[in-house]
Amino acid sequence: MKASKRIIVWILVSLSLQLSLYLFLDKYYFSDENNIKVTNLDNIVNNKEIKPNINFPEGVKDIALSYDKGYTSYFDSSNTLRVFETDTAKPVNIMFSKGAQCISYKWLPDTNRMILAETVSASKGKVVKFYSFDPETEDKEEIKDYNRNKVNSIPVSNSKPSVDIEFSTLTGVMYAKVASGGATGVYRIDRNEEMTKVNTAGRKVGDIKVSSHDDNLAYEDLTSNKIRTNVKLNSILSIKGSSTLYLLNADGDNNIYVGNSVSHKVNKIYYGKLSENTTEWKMTQLTNAVDPSKIIIANGVIYVNNEDENTLINVSTGKRISYKGNLIEVFDDMVASASDSKLVFNPIK
């Protein structure tokens, strides 16, 4: 009997201790009010303010900034690619093999990495190769088809070739237009770094743009003066009532932008998805017809660049955004420009 009482007492003590512990955890340790703090990660990232400290020497070209503006790059007067930390002007070292020449580059739209296009000597002449470069680690890697153990190289003539690079951000696909010796080829490199040549109409291709979500390609066929796509093999992109179109840009929402040509200027802008019928595309009317080079499309916003007044005009709202010097790039929160040989940030308010 005494043993039974002793067991009952120990059970009651054990239950009491457990209930006390549960009460403490519920009221204090796991309390929403007293112990949990929620922090918005975006606020931490966006709180990093970058103050530009870049001076441009004479003769620079192709100035660009990384997606978060942390790095600034350009070709100097000797056509050598230079990369710097934007806020410290500290140079970033890029290693090039002997005889190699970087002829084009482009920052990836969602990370601080860039793609380089270089000409290098091969057994049968010059070829173009592509590399990925990380300025934070200074690591440079050749874009190579490892599945087939094949180097992605494109033969070019000894004349000065040119390379234009476009990306599909969602699929990780890259397109490269390589012009050399009067002919142009377009090449597709997928996420696995497998390269294939795109079957384009004609030997001369103008601007190329890529849909951000489904990596559909739009390109200017300079032979027929038409815009074609690869949604259906070399199909022509047409807008009712427009005989000539300019290929303007692409955005992060999978839209392609084209301009209606009137006396070599643009008076209307159409945009939509290549997978849709163009009858479903939207249209924006410009107040005055402008040269297509004056049209800036950034983050889905259409601007007209008035260089005489150093002003960007938001076509939808009419809002005017002033900047100093020569326009470099438009971001969602500010405009980058070069003024008195210095990099300048002008906020968009």
Task: Give the model's pLDDT for residue 28.
Answer: 44
pLDDT digit string, tens, across residues 60-90 = 999 999 999 999 999 999 999 999 999 999 9
Mean pLDDT of the 153-168 span:
91
The pLDDT, as a whole number, for residue 117 is 97
Lowest mean pLDDT among 144-158, 253-267, 313-327: 144-158
- In the chain, the percentage of residues whose pLDDT exceeds 90 is 75
Residue 72 CB coordination number (10 Å): 25
pLDDT at 43: 40
Task: pLDDT band for 46, please (50, 70, 90 cuts).
Answer: very low
The answer on pLDDT for 38 being more than 60 is: no
Give residue 16's pLDDT: 56
Mean pLDDT over residues 163-184, rounded?
93
Q: What's the confidence (pLDDT) of residue 183?
A: 87
What pLDDT, in 10s, does the model give residues 260-310? 999 999 999 999 999 999 999 999 999 999 999 999 999 899 999 999 999
Q: What is the mean pLDDT of residues 308-320?
A: 96
Mean per-residue pLDDT, 35-54 = 58
Asked if residue 336 lies in contact with residue 347, where contact means CB atoms within 8 angstroms, the answer is: no
Q: What is the pTM of this model?
A: 0.84
pLDDT at position 10 is: 53
What are all long-range contacts of 80-88, with beta carbons under 8 Å and residues at least 24 apart?
81/105, 81/116, 83/114, 83/135, 84/54, 85/135, 86/50, 86/52, 86/53, 86/54, 86/343, 87/50, 87/51, 87/52, 87/53, 88/53
What integer pLDDT is reported at residue 17 of this predicted model? 53
- CA distances 125 to 131, 164, 171, 197, Å, are 19, 21, 33, 20
Could you give the CA distance from residue 99 to residue 203 in angstroms, rounded to a whole number? 29
First to last CA, the chain: 84
